[in-house]
Structure 1
């Protein structure tokens, strides 16, 4: 039995496991070791074609989608365009996310109902869940997207007080908490 032609033939048939091929040729009288068979198959494992570039991570694509298109470098814009060309659902999602971002930054809360209708028209379960949350308190969301006032500063102070309370392991009664939060007078 000629070992190399047999191995080439079996490789061409799709059997690429060196251990399996070694066991097969042992039944035909081959007395060599497994290492020799593996070494004989090694040139087949090295492909002349360069490996394809890794696709961008989910976090990277999310960053591209959430970034304002004008601030994306041209290389990243092209990569995003190729990703969106491969997935029409992601392309639709990108359009909705960017439209909501524009509504949010330009205080266009009066367009919220149109945006919700457009999202409902597409089959995007993740956005449908988001829209359900918006619809639970639609009036407040519309006002929040329309008026220039923000309660961010107040929420920041509330979060700071909660952190101080957590640091005190539940021993923060009002008197002690007041001494830690208010400056000494």
Structure 2
């Protein structure tokens, strides 16, 4: 492959070269060929290839995970990401402070957080803060009391799922038996 590339002075396209070597017995695929071409034909004195940007999932993971749970590499990437985008640093700070309120049941800081989030200029977080403000009493109670309705919600969700599965297939008696036996 390299000899043919040098014969043409690099004027042959990758697809044409792949076609020629496939006719001569090359059994690899295009992806394998493209990887070879990228590594073999890169100029040695040229700039190194740029690292790929993080995916949305990776960035979200770095911003929402507790800092103690990040690896050293992930922490470096998180710091680079936050240095690159000041709005993201504001968002990360707001997410972290809200997570602290959730885990510590510190609902007294809620009005201050809502004001900061609303004036932050970040559309998604401002909308979230306005939604919290519209049902402030319930949110404040959820952030200050140690009780929650998670078990009840789970049971209701399970019953609704069973009802959806049985929709139009059976009457109340069969649904009742299924709920009680499940």
Q: Normalised by the shorter chain, which TM-score bucket? A: 0.7 to 0.9
Structure 1's unaligned 5+ residue stretches are: 1-35
2:150 matched to which residue of 1? 152
1:142 matched to which residue of 2? 140
Residues 77-86 or 128-137, more deviating: 128-137
1:113 matched to which residue of 2? 111
Residues 68-115 of structure 1: per-residue CA shift (max 9 Å, x gap):
111111211111000000100000000000000000000001110000
Q: Which of the numbers 176, 179, 182 marks the counterpart of 1:181?
A: 179
Deviation at 1:121, TM superposition (A): 2.2
Question: Cα–Cα, structure 1 residues 92 and 158, in superposed 2: closer, same or farther, change >3 Å?
Answer: same
TM-score (norm 2): 0.74
2:60 matched to which residue of 1? 62
2:92 matched to which residue of 1? 94
Matches within 5 A, 1:1-185: 39=11, 46-47=42-43, 48-183=46-181
For residues 165 and 150 of structure 1, the distance between their equivalents in structure 2, rounded to whole angstroms, comes to: 25
What's the C-alpha RMSD, in Å, of the aligned pairs? 2.3
Residues 10-59 of structure 1: per-residue CA shift (max 9 Å, x gap):
xxxxxxxxxxxxxxxxxxxxxxxxxx6862899xx844322111011111
**Runs of 4+ off more than 4 Å:** none
For residues 170 and 99 of structure 2, the distance between their equivalents in structure 1, rounded to whole angstroms, comes to: 40
Q: Which has the larger radius of gyration?
A: 1
| C-alpha contact (below 8 Å) 1:161/1:181 kept by paired residues | yes
Q: How many residues align?
A: 148
1:32 matched to which residue of 2? none
